[in-house]
A and B are shown apart, each in its own frame.
Chain A
């Protein structure tokens, strides 16, 4: 008895020693990353908070403290509601449509058929293409005078030769075009994530469901969907991050126009700072973008915790 308790004590002590050793090693290994993030994230964020409280004179780089005045400007900004509305629409449309397309597509790719490997390569291509090149492709396809899309509609006999559909210079078509191009690059990625989940659903589970007499829809709802919840959450998070961070697509395709119809938070913050040189208010706006992202992050963390 005594012996056993002594042994227990000893092993407890070595375990503790090992644990503190691991903590020290972890600190050592993580130090370079921590240093980089402190200097490149924490310090800039603090600086940006300071900038949001000051007026920066661009010529002399002189700073004047203005307190919360620039934060209060959010409430008086006539464009902010438009910008947030555009962002929300674009974000929500990407999530809903993205999931609606990628779920069936992922299921399709679990089937055995010739050319399955090739189909996966096709899914990876949008990830490889720089948004800067993407806007060249789509700007040219959607070009109202010489573009392929209007050309195809004409060849299919759907429009007359002199019909000009302006995809990028009318408010609703421009919004729809941006959402479409965003989906074009995001859906394949969402599909890959969901596919990885579907492949982990075992044959046994599906067979068991069939033996129990559940039909294909019931199986999908009660067996498959719960099993791939984590993957669906991951796909939605990736889609959210990419949607809120959309910048190059707007710069290249609509420049926020026509009017303010495709002006979204990320591009708006950038424009305030780097075109209108309003550093202070730009910093405030970038915190708004950050807040949206944090909401997405927290929701996903919750869902992750629930699913795990």
Chain B
């Protein structure tokens, strides 16, 4: 490799790291300083005084944070489980079975995924109100299905297509029915794909704001709603607390992503690139 080229690569990487890790580092630095040190110009790049007061306030006893964490966890887990259970069946049909209208159905799934949430939110909230489900976990989880179930099918279909058909045929020769073949051959072989899909849906549900705010209504707040509510409190927009809240909210998913990066990259690119 030529020297100039190596330098170019190094410069590009440094820019990438600076741009993407810098803001997070800055958030961390901000969250560790007392408020009066934050409200000065120019800002101090390295904390003069370090304090954990913002974290103790957020993570203290009886804080709203824990309630939001509980809501977020319950909803993300329920949505992920439901999407995977229903999506695996649908994805298998699209990946492996021949039937008339298969391509059109696949396109319909994609189109539904692209539907703007705001278009569905209005009628959905009217329906949920009629059913008495506004402000309930069930109402929110069900409202997520149009987006995350179609996303699940899209991504999983890619993984199912990657399983060699011979293996499934061999199982059928051995006397398995198609459903048994799905259960005994395709699903175990696609375990990494199922894992990747689960993580992606979990993260997207965890991060969703608009539906969580409107459907959670006054009954419950998920973490993103909690953070943005905190941010929009005009009279107490405390930069330190806000930074700490944002960091604590993103920490679990960032760790998840770092731990499973290979799987997630496969999942994110698989669905999009299989025609």
**A residues apposed to B, CB below 8 Å:** 19, 22-23, 25-27, 29-30, 32-33, 36-37, 40-41, 43-45, 47-48, 51, 104-105, 108, 111, 113, 115, 117, 119-133, 135-141, 143, 145-148, 150-151, 154-155, 161, 184, 188-189, 192-193, 196-197, 230-231, 234, 237-238, 241, 244-245, 247-248, 251-252, 266, 269-270, 273-274, 279, 282-283, 286-287, 289-290, 293-294, 296-297, 301, 304, 307-308
Chain A residues within 8 Å of B97, by CB = 22-23, 25-26, 29
Q: Which residue of A lies closest to B271 (CB)?
A: A234
Known: A146-B41, A290-B116. A47 touches B127 (CB 8 A): yes
- Report whether A36 and B117 are in contact in the complex, using a CB–CB cutoff of 8 Å: no
Chain A residues within 8 Å of B89, by CB = 29-30, 32-33
Contact with A along B222-247 (1 / 0, CB 8 A): 01110110011000000100110111
| Min CB gap B31→A, angstroms | 10
Contact with A along B47-86 (1 / 0, CB 8 A): 0000000000000000000000000000000000000001
- Report whether A124 and B231 are in contact in the complex, using a CB–CB cutoff of 8 Å: no
* Alpha-carbon separation in the docked complex, A132 to B102 (Å): 38
| Min CB gap A190→B, angstroms | 11
Among candidates A108, A128, A304, residue contacting B13 with C-beta atoms closer than 8 Å: A108
- Report whether A131 and B43 are in contact in the complex, using a CB–CB cutoff of 8 Å: no
The residue among B13, B39, B45, B122 with the most chain A CB atoms within 10 A of its own CB is B122
- Report whether B214 and A274 are in contact in the complex, using a CB–CB cutoff of 8 Å: yes
Q: Which of B182-223 touch A at CB < 8 Å? A: 203, 206-207, 209-210, 214, 223
Chain B residues within 8 Å of A127, by CB = 203, 257, 264, 268
* Alpha-carbon separation in the docked complex, A23 to B149 (Å): 21
Chain B residues within 8 Å of A188, by CB = 20
- Report whether A22 and B20 are in contact in the complex, using a CB–CB cutoff of 8 Å: no
- Report whether B123 and A45 are in contact in the complex, using a CB–CB cutoff of 8 Å: yes
- Report whether B273 and A37 are in contact in the complex, using a CB–CB cutoff of 8 Å: no
Q: Which residue of A lies closest to B257 (CB)?
A: A128
- Across chains A and B, the number of contacting residue pairs, with CB separation under 8 Å, is 288
Among candidates A47, A122, A132, residue contacting B249 with C-beta atoms closer than 8 Å: A132
- Report whether A36 and B145 are in contact in the complex, using a CB–CB cutoff of 8 Å: yes
Known: A124-B265, A129-B207, A130-B209. A33 touches B86 (CB 8 A): yes
Residue B42 lies at the interface, judged by CB distance under 8 Å to chain A: yes
| Min CB gap A279→B, angstroms | 6
| Min CB gap B169→A, angstroms | 12
Chain B residues within 8 Å of A40, by CB = 120, 124, 142-143, 145-146
The 10 closest A-B pairs by CB, nearest first: A132-B224, A130-B207, A44-B123, A286-B119, A47-B123, A136-B246, A133-B246, A23-B99, A33-B90, A196-B269
| Min CB gap A143→B, angstroms | 8
Chain A residues within 8 Å of B23, by CB = 137-138, 141
Could you show 18 A-B contacts with beta carbons less than 8 Å apart?
A: A23-B100, A40-B120, A41-B146, A113-B9, A115-B13, A128-B256, A130-B227, A136-B243, A145-B41, A146-B40, A196-B265, A234-B273, A245-B116, A247-B117, A251-B209, A283-B123, A289-B119, A290-B119
Among candidates B13, B27, B43, residue contacting A146 with C-beta atoms closer than 8 Å: B43
- Report whether A124 and B261 are in contact in the complex, using a CB–CB cutoff of 8 Å: yes
- Report whether B122 and A132 are in contact in the complex, using a CB–CB cutoff of 8 Å: no
- Report whether A248 and B231 are in contact in the complex, using a CB–CB cutoff of 8 Å: no
| Min CB gap A285→B, angstroms | 8
The residue among B41, B119, B178 with the most chain A CB atoms within 10 A of its own CB is B119
Known: A122-B17, A161-B41. A293 touches B114 (CB 8 A): yes
Residue B110 lies at the interface, judged by CB distance under 8 Å to chain A: yes
Chain B residues within 8 Å of A128, by CB = 203, 207, 250, 253-254, 256-257
- Report whether A150 and B143 are in contact in the complex, using a CB–CB cutoff of 8 Å: no
| Min CB gap A162→B, angstroms | 9
* Alpha-carbon separation in the docked complex, A184 to B20 (Å): 8
What DSSP secondary structure best describes chain B's contact surface? helix
Chain A residues within 8 Å of B121, by CB = 270, 273, 286
- Report whether A248 and B228 are in contact in the complex, using a CB–CB cutoff of 8 Å: yes
- Report whether B275 and A304 are in contact in the complex, using a CB–CB cutoff of 8 Å: yes
* Alpha-carbon separation in the docked complex, A129 to B153 (Å): 23
* Alpha-carbon separation in the docked complex, A23 to B121 (Å): 33
| Min CB gap B179→A, angstroms | 8
In the complex, given contacts A43-B123, A304-B275, what are 11 additional A-B residue pairs having Cβ atoms less than 8 angstroms apart? A36-B86, A105-B12, A120-B261, A128-B257, A132-B227, A140-B239, A145-B41, A151-B41, A193-B269, A230-B273, A270-B121
Chain B residues within 8 Å of A161, by CB = 41-42
Q: Which residue of A lies closest to B108 (CB)?
A: A37
Q: Which residue of B lies closest to A138 (CB)?
A: B23
Contact with A along B114-148 (1 / 0, CB 8 A): 11111111111011000000000000001101100
* Alpha-carbon separation in the docked complex, A301 to B202 (Å): 28
| Min CB gap A57→B, angstroms | 13
Residue B3 lies at the interface, judged by CB distance under 8 Å to chain A: no
Q: Which residue of B lies closest to A269 (CB)?
A: B118
Q: Which residue of A lies closest to B253 (CB)?
A: A128
Chain B residues within 8 Å of A308, by CB = 275
Known: A22-B99, A48-B122. A247 touches B210 (CB 8 A): yes
